[in-house]
Amino acid sequence: MSTSIKTSQDFKRTTVTAALPYANGGLHIGHIAGAYLPADTYVRYLRMKNHDVVFVSGSDEHGAAITLRAKKEGITPKEIIDKYDTLLKNSFKDFGIEFDIYHRTSSDLHKETAQEFFTTLYNKDVFRKQTNEQFYDEKFEQFLADRYIVGTCPNCQNDNAYGDQCEKCGSTLSPTELINPKSALSGEKPVLKSTSHWFLPLQNYDTWLREWILESKKEEWRAGVYGQCKSWIEQGLHERSMTRDLDWGVPVPLPDADGKVLYVWLDAPIGYVSATKQWAKNQEKEGKGNQEDWKKYWLKQENKADDSRLIHFIGKDNIVFHCLIFPIILKAHGDYILPENVPANNFLNLEGDKISTSREWAVWLNEYVEEFPTKKDELRYVLTSIAPETKDSEFTWATFQSRINNELVDTLGNFVNRTVVLINKYYDGIVPNIDLSIATDLTDFDKETLEGIKTQTEKVSQNLETFNFRDGLFEVMELARIGNKYLATTEPWKLQKTEPQRVEQIMKISAELTANLAILMRPFLPTTSDKIAQMLNITDELKWNVAGNLELVSGKINKAILLFEKIEDELVESQVKKLGDNKARKLKELKEQKEESAEINPIAEIQPEIQFEDFSKIDIRVATIKNAEPVKKADKLLKITLEVGEQEVTVASGIAEHFSPEEIIGKQVCWLANLAPRKMRGIVSQGMILLAENEKGKLVFVSPEKMVNTGAQVK
């Protein structure tokens, strides 16, 4: 382990946060794999070490996503958040994610805390009040928050991007960057209208961010997290509005801010602080502490060595908010500690496609727990073993089956079961009384196996300390593989009658290895750990400091119980079918809604008939757009340079309202080559680029299905 990377031993206490889920829907396995399972695993590890840790999360109950969902369901925002807060809280509890507190941003305490942050920054002249133009829905007579604006993403052409983010490619956007923006309320094109807001000048913190992140976090933070921060900083930071024109949220605490609320990404992360405050209040009521104890976990202490360590567990789409914006807010406030690490995960895909709640392409946590109430550890195992720590990964039900059958059942379950069954069979459940630390007749293989217990303990600890949960779980399973190899090689069932003393050694070593498995797997698979401890009749609480110990099991143990069951093909098939059925049903609903709300565009009138000889005169070639630029005093025109074979031609095309110059460079298009040149706005346009119009009125290029050589003739 690099000495430059700080671990839990370097701090007196740790504050662990898990991203606040929006209270406008349920939790799916992508959420769990991304933020909550790694956070829960890490906190369980710290608790086993008797480390002082507080683990907080809660429902994010403000922002446009909530009000949009309320309008969609025809109920109030309050009814929405109450409904989904209950669902979220129960889903976490039923699955075994153990927060110290799961709070709500709709609470009075959160409102008070968030407003205090804003007021402190306001009084320090951190914000800049500006009047600018913002999209406004004339039909609904209201300004549109970012999530109330939908349009085409300029980066990936997704037609359903929001004004703040494209959920398909993950790009962070501003509303004016969208192509063909429309109001999510009325479906109409919004107009720009003046309004005033308070902005956080991110650029003022450029030097500090370079020093804090680029110079000091490169070795500690995941490459993807560091790289995204570096990209944002080097592209140049800009001011960002910290308020919104909405009637739902934390009101801006200023006299000239009527009808304005705090921006959700100022509001939401402060929810970690208010949650910790509420936890401290609860602790005091239970006689376990003082309501001021929250300060130890969030505020700078007189002696820096007494500062808590702050760890944020999030998905990669929230990196900019947790690594740049929130730290700037904490820095500007002045009293708060900064994140020590932000082990953000990438995305989890599902059966060859991205998880999509709008298309019902998801495995919902509450449905999984209801359908498989005894298989929580199985899902924990699979999601951790494929954790998207360094890149996007994929969950399939076939993977679920193979991981459980080949690894949990055949490796871990097999070793534990054989050990417990043989001790019960040979010794009536009494573990052989052998002190392995002083035994002089152990074989080299015995010693190698016992050394493996200590080696694997060190490897698991190292991986947990550095947030490498996937590798940590692998090392736990490696110990199970060591155990299987030990029993398979020593074959005690063949020696019981001829070498009973040797078998006693083998079974004692196997029992101690099994006990160590129970300890090492506990952060990952808590229920399985409990079952193994029960079988071994270990009544003391399993603590990390005894991992590697070879005197954990003594006396009489209990009978073997089944740890895992094989997953049959029928289960896999039914779950894949369920996904497909849900997706088909949802797509049908969306299609019907679209047909009800949109006008049916009749096919354009067919032009007069021509003869084949006329058609054969047309010369259409494949070309690549090499450059594009706007034309002065011509809002609809783009001047485009095409590469056709070894030559370049210029075309003036009236597509500026549909495409930005940057997004079309590199695209292959079909070019009508022998159209007579035409002068447009001083540009001699040579030929024409072919486009079609979709059902939304948006132009799309007519392009070859695969890349071909430029200049190729279309036949």
The annotation places the binding site at: 153, 156, 166, 169, 357
Q: How far is CA 521 from the centre of its chain?
A: 24
Instruction: Provide the annotated binding site for Zn(2+).
Output: 153, 156, 166, 169
Rounded-to-integer distance, Cα 350 and Cα 369, Å: 18
Rounded-to-integer distance, Cα 333 and Cα 325, Å: 12
Within 10 Å of residue 147's Cβ, how many Cβ atoms? 21
Crossing angle of helices 37-48 and 376-385, in 10° steps, is: 100
Rounded-to-integer distance, Cα 80 and Cα 248, Å: 12
User: Which residues, 6 or more positions from 493, have their beta carbon under 8 angstroms from its beta carbon?
Assistant: 422
10 Å CB burial of residue 131 (0-12, 13-18, 19+) is: exposed
Instruction: Provide the annotated binding site for ATP.
Output: 357
Rounded-to-integer distance, Cα 516 and Cα 533, Å: 10
10 Å CB burial of residue 703 (0-12, 13-18, 19+) is: middle
- Does residue 472 contact residue 398 with C-beta atoms inside 8 Å? no
Bridge partners (DSSP) listed for residue 150: 162, 182
Q: What is the DSSP letter of 171?
A: -
Within 10 Å of residue 374's Cβ, how many Cβ atoms? 10
Amino acid, single-letter form, for residue 303: N
CA distances from 6 to 137, 462, 465 (A): 50, 12, 9
Q: Which two tokens stand for residue 186?
A: 């009325």
In this structure, are strands 393-395 and 348-350 parallel, antiparallel, or unpaired?
parallel
User: Which residues, 6 or more positions from 154, have their beta carbon under 8 angstroms from its beta carbon?
Assistant: 173, 177, 178, 179, 660, 662, 663
Q: Which two tokens stand for residue 140?
A: 């609904």
Residue of 355, 353, 391, 347 whose CA lies nearest to 170: 347
